[in-house]
């Protein structure tokens, strides 16, 4: 109990991937570059979707929310990791650790659910195009977005509260990039087997059920696309769906490894690499995957950049 009280006062030490890397300076520079890429690409995508009236459609509303989640998710983790490394100060308070865990779980859970809703959006657009504006009207879209945020935040609040109520009477070093459930439970000196089972069940519910819905949606989409008479329509549908499936694979792969696989499959080094992938790499690549292959987004982006970079020529 005494050590647990000292944890409340002094907090934890985040021994992340930068501290255990063979080339920490190079890795830090790479993380900083990826973070800047995530800020710029997600920020531009949000700006384009908000300002261009042609993109005020259900698919782009959901895509804008995905960019917002990615932007916030990487900002919860990356700046602190870089600043801690540069300042040689890796401590995080008990309250700060709890807040970081809550925000990371909320944003990760919301993105998980949103990707499933985005798959449903593509299913309706391709398989039932005549009903699209009815089934995916703005009211429905905002309800879907609100559901993602609310369910994720409630789940995150429950897990954060329960995880942080345990007595931490082992070493205060968290051998991980951020405060997450699996590495924190290794510091607990009480029996956590039942709670680990609950984390597993929640992981299956929040990850595998939406993933099953995504695969079901894309199976139906594939059957519809193969029956299309137009080669151009088939190509456009496949490009849109392949972009979404790429994002799904990157996000769900890392999250499933962290929260569904048993603890015996985990090691600090593997967990650190996976956490870097879904908290830093994926948010930087998502907007590029969606925008570079989307003619509407690229056209709107050129229009906005042309107005700001070449205001005289664009006004003529």
Residue 185: CB atoms within 10 A of its CB come to 17
254 inside domain:
yes
27 inside domain:
yes
What is the token pair recorded at 254? 């890392």
What is the token pair recorded at 143? 């309800």
- Cβ atoms of residues 272 and 183 within 8 Å: no
3 inside domain:
no
The Cα 77–Cα 284 span in angstroms is 13
Q: How confident is the model at residue 147 (pLDDT cuts 50, 70, 90)?
A: very high
309 inside domain:
no
Q: How confident is the model at residue 310 (pLDDT cuts 50, 70, 90)?
A: very low
252 inside domain:
yes
Q: pLDDT tens digits, residue range 64-79?
A: 999 999 999 999 999 9
* Of 61, 81, 83, 74, the residue nearest 103 (C-alpha): 74
138 inside domain:
yes
140 inside domain:
yes
Where is pLDDT greater, at 292 or 42? 42
Q: What is the CA radius of gyration of the chain?
A: 21
Axis crossing angle, helix 231-259 with helix 268-276, rounded to the nearest 10: 150
Angle at 89 between CA 106 and CA 188, to 5 degrees: 55
Q: How confident is the model at residue 157 (pLDDT cuts 50, 70, 90)?
A: very high
Q: How confident is the model at residue 39 (pLDDT cuts 50, 70, 90)?
A: very high
* Of 94, 95, 68, 91, the residue nearest 80 (C-alpha): 91
Q: pLDDT tens digits, residue range 204-235?
A: 888 888 889 998 998 898 888 878 777 776 77
Q: How confident is the model at residue 297 (pLDDT cuts 50, 70, 90)?
A: confident
42 inside domain:
yes
Number of domains in the chain: 1
115 half-sphere exposure, CB direction, 13 A CA radius: 29
Which of 12-16, 74-78, 194-198, 213-217 shows the lowest mean pLDDT across its residues?
A: 12-16
pLDDT (0 to 100) of residue 256? 79
What is the domain range of residue 264? 22-302
CATH at 109:
1.20.1070.10
């Amino acid at each position: 109990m005494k050590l647990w009280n000292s944890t409340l006062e002094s907090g934890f030490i985040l021994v992340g991937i930068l501290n255990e890397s063979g080339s920490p300076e190079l890795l830090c520079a790479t993380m900083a570059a990826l973070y800047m890429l995530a800020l710029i690409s997600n920020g531009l995508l949000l700006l384009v979707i908000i300002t261009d009236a042609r993109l005020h459609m259900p698919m782009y509303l959901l895509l804008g929310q995905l960019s917002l989640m990615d932007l916030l998710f990487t900002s919860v983790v990356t700046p602190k990791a870089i600043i801690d490394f540069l300042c040689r100060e890796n401590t995080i308070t008990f309250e700060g650790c709890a807040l970081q865990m809550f925000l990371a779980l909320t944003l990760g859970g919301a993105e998980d659910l949103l990707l499933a809703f985005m798959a449903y959006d593509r299913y309706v657009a391709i398989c039932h195009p005549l009903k699209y504006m009815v089934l995916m009207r703005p009211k429905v879209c905002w309800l879907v977005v609100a559901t993602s945020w609310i369910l994720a935040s409630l789940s995150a609040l429950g897990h954060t509260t329960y995880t942080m109520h345990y007595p931490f009477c082992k070493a205060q070093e968290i051998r991980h990039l951020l405060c997450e459930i699996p590495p924190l439970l290794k510091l607990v000196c009480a029996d956590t087997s039942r709670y680990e089972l609950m984390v597993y069940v929640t992981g299956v519910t929040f990850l595998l059920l939406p993933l099953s819905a995504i695969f079901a949606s894309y199976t139906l989409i594939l059957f519809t696309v193969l029956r299309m008479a137009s080669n151009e329509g088939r190509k456009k549908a496949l490009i849109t769906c392949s972009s979404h499936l790429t994002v799904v694979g990157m996000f769900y792969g890392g999250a499933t490894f962290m929260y569904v696989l048993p603890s015996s499959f985990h090691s600090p080094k593997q967990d650190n690499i996976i956490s870097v992938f879904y908290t830093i790499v994926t948010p930087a690549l998502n907007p590029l995957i969606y925008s570079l292959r989307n003619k509407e987004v690229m056209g709107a982006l050129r229009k906005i950049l042309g107005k700001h970079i070449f205001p005289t020529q664009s006004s003529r």
